[in-house]
Amino acid sequence: MLLYPLWIRIWHLLNAVLIIILITTGVLMQFTGPDSQLLLILYPGSAKLHNISAIFLTISYIIFVAGNIISDNGKHYKLMRKDIVPGSAIQLRYFIWGIFRREKNPSPVTEENKFNPLQKTTYLLVMYAALPLLILSGIIMLFPDMKIIVLMGKGFYLFADILHIVTGFMISIFLVIHVYTCTITSKPGSVFRSIISGYRETEE
């Protein structure tokens, strides 16, 4: 079944590359500096690459939101109360226990339900909460001389800095878990093949 249209596949690949670049360069900037002997040559380039990638990520995010509005892909992000409780709890139990006992997936992938309740809850938080906060705090740090930021004071800039680091860390953890959960399906490699071809194999 076709679950991932071409624009989603292109966006997903671009987003993955940009996020990996941002995590790598962000770590370099966080733990090294212009006066550091370690990675001294890479530091200036990392800062520039981080900023450029951040701009492209912002554009990519705008395209993602617009695409969800004008296409039916947005329906997969509509969260119901039952998706949070008990849906997410049931799916979490399956991922950490049931799947290793060869139990049946409580929320198999269908054309109408591309995401299970746990994925839907997590993706909604990441794409519509964490990522916007990451982008907004990044803009504040990229343009610290903007009049409104100057008026807010140094405390506001420090808050944006901490928020940027925290949301960046959260998205990094999400990326690791996201890749891991893609490897523990009943058909190994099927998720990775589907994001290339667009077609998802059934779990039966």
Q: What is the distance between the alpha carbons of residues 23 and 50, in angstroms, rounded to a whole number? A: 9
Answer whether residue 68 shows pLDDT above 70. yes
Q: What mean pLDDT is predicted for residues 105-131?
A: 91
Q: Which residues pair with 2 in a beta bridge?
A: 199
Block residue for tokens 């966006």 = 11
Q: What mean pLDDT is predicted for residues 68-78?
A: 91
CATH fold for the domain made of 6-197 = Fumarate Reductase Cytochrome B subunit (1.20.950)
Q: What mean pLDDT is predicted for residues 108-131?
A: 92
Q: What is the distance between the alpha carbons of residues 21 and 49, in angstroms, rounded to a whole number? A: 8
Answer whether residue 174 shows pLDDT above 60. yes
Which distant-in-sequence residues (6+ apart) come within 8 Å of 122 by Cβ?
A: 174
Task: Tell me how many degrees the CA angle 185-190-195 measures, rounded to the nearest 5.
Answer: 120
What's the pTM value of the predicted model, to 2 decimals?
Answer: 0.86
The pLDDT of residue 39: 56
pLDDT, tens only, 5-39: 999 999 999 999 999 999 988 988 877 765 665 55
Q: How far is CA 191 from CA 3, 181, 200, in A?
A: 11, 9, 7
CB count within 10 Å of CB 183 equals: 10
The pLDDT of residue 127: 95
Q: What is the distance between the alpha carbons of residues 159 and 154, in angstroms, rounded to a whole number? A: 9
Q: What mean pLDDT is predicted for residues 99-112?
A: 86
pLDDT, tens only, 178-195: 998 888 776 667 888 888
**Extended beta strands in 33-137, E state:** none
The pLDDT of residue 175: 94
Answer whether residue 82 shows pLDDT above 70. yes
- Choice between 123 and 204, residue whose per-residue pLDDT is larger: 123
CB count within 10 Å of CB 146 equals: 12
Q: What mean pLDDT is predicted for residues 57-73?
A: 95
- Let me know if 123 is exposed, middle or buried by CB neighbors in 10 A (0-12, 13-18, 19+): middle
Q: How far is CA 193 from CA 76, 106, 201, in A?
A: 20, 22, 9
Q: What mean pLDDT is predicted for residues 170-174?
A: 95
What does the mean pLDDT of the chain come to? 87
SS3 146: coil
What are the domain boundaries of the chain? 6-197
pLDDT-derived band of residue 42, with 50, 70 and 90 as boundaries?
Answer: low
